């Protein structure tokens, strides 16, 4: 059975970050395909009809809720569409994809989606039942198997429009408060924005005057729990915790090496310095690149510790965030 890939007016509607089973994921919501007629090729224009994916969705659910693969430009798999989020409506085939942010290509795709560069979905499918109208040169697809949805930057359907693209900032106001985990969790569960009270699976907040606030005691307690995890599992949480510690103006308990002295930096390749700076979560890709280039351009005769400048940049970043 052959697999085809085409753009059927699929559009990203929302972009945000979340957590799935302890893995940081970027959420992209939208239509994997619509019921519009595509632009076609040399022979036929294609059009799915409503109901074309009904059996395929059901089969995925029967097969241990197998996710539909989420790919980058029909290339590498960078995540999936949980099958419970995939459905047909009057517009088309809707899905909520989860990009794995532990995968480098996933990080890049998510960043481009947030920026608004990647705006469209394309679908990978196999035809089960179709019919052709030779006069109109239209192939109507009545039943298809959906294999994957891919985020792409070149729309093929002129009717594809972006309704909404946004990112969610979960960096809450920090307060000092006696924190009781069980009591706080009970209050949080009744709040409509409860997802913002967590970093991954760790509760860091409470409800105060109907608003969710990050609590210092909860941040310290959760950080202690994170440090008990295997090192490879800690990384997905540390960057988010670091942002809070920076906002509080205190030293991080994770001992993340976010400052590089000049001598060490000169023995590293610019890309390595850039990567280390970006991984701290404190520098944008552009800022990290500028700083990395500047370090390499320092004359060997100048032995000034570059950490002072980096600390100043971190303080500036904290002040304007």
Q: Could you give the CA distance from residue 88 to residue 33 in angstroms, rounded to a whole number?
A: 10
Lowest average pLDDT, out of 4-18, 142-156, 198-212, 268-282, goes to 4-18
76 — pLDDT class (breaks 50, 70, 90): confident
DSSP 169: -
Lowest average pLDDT, out of 62-71, 80-89, 187-196, 200-209, goes to 187-196
- In the three-class reduction of DSSP (H, G, I as helix; E, B as strand; rest coil), residue 287 is classed as helix
pLDDT computed for residue 170 by the predictor: 62
Segment 262-287 mean pLDDT = 67
113 — pLDDT class (breaks 50, 70, 90): confident
For 31-73, write each residue's pLDDT tens digit.
888 888 876 655 678 899 999 999 999 999 998 888 999 988 7
- Listed in order, strand segments (DSSP E) in the chain are 4-20, 23-34, 45-48, 68-72, 77-81, 87-88, 92-100, 120-133, 138-152, 174-175, 198-199, 202-203, 205-208, 211-215
301 — pLDDT class (breaks 50, 70, 90): very low
């Amino acid at each position: 059975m052959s697999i085809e890939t085409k753009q059927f007016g699929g559009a990203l509607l929302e972009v945000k970050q979340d957590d799935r089973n302890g893995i940081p994921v970027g959420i992209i919501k939208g239509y994997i395909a619509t019921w519009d007629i595509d632009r076609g090729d040399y022979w036929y224009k294609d059009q799915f009809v409503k109901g074309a994916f009904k059996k395929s969705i059901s089969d995925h659910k029967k097969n241990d809720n197998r996710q539909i693969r989420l790919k980058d430009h029909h290339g590498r798999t960078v995540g999936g569409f949980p099958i419970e989020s995939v459905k047909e409506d009057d517009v088309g085939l809707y899905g909520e994809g989860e990009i794995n942010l532990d995968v480098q290509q996933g990080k890049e795709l998510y960043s481009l989606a947030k920026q608004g560069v990647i705006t469209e979905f394309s679908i990978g499918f196999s035809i089960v039942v179709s019919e052709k109208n030779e006069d109109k040169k239209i192939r109507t697809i009545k039943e298809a198997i959906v294999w994957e949805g891919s985020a792409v930057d070149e729309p093929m359907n002129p009717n594809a429009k972006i309704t909404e693209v946004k990112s969610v900032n979960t960096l809450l106001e920090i307060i000092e408060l006696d924190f009781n985990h069980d009591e706080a969790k009970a209050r949080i569960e009744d709040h409509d924005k409860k997802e913002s009270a967590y970093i991954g699976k760790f509760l860091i907040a409470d409800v105060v005057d109907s608003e969710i606030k990050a609590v210092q005691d909860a941040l310290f307690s959760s950080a202690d729990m994170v440090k008990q995890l295997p090192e490879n599992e800690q990384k997905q949480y540390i960057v988010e915790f670091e942002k809070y510690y920076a906002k509080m103006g205190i030293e991080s308990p994770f001992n993340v090496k976010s400052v590089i002295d000049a001598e060490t930096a000169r023995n590293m390749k610019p890309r390595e310095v850039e990567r280390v700076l970006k991984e701290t979560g404190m520098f944008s890709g552009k800022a990290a690149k500028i700083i990395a280039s500047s370090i390499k351009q320092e004359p060997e005769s100048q032995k000034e510790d570059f950490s002072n400048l980096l600390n100043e940049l971190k303080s500036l970043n904290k002040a304007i965030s």
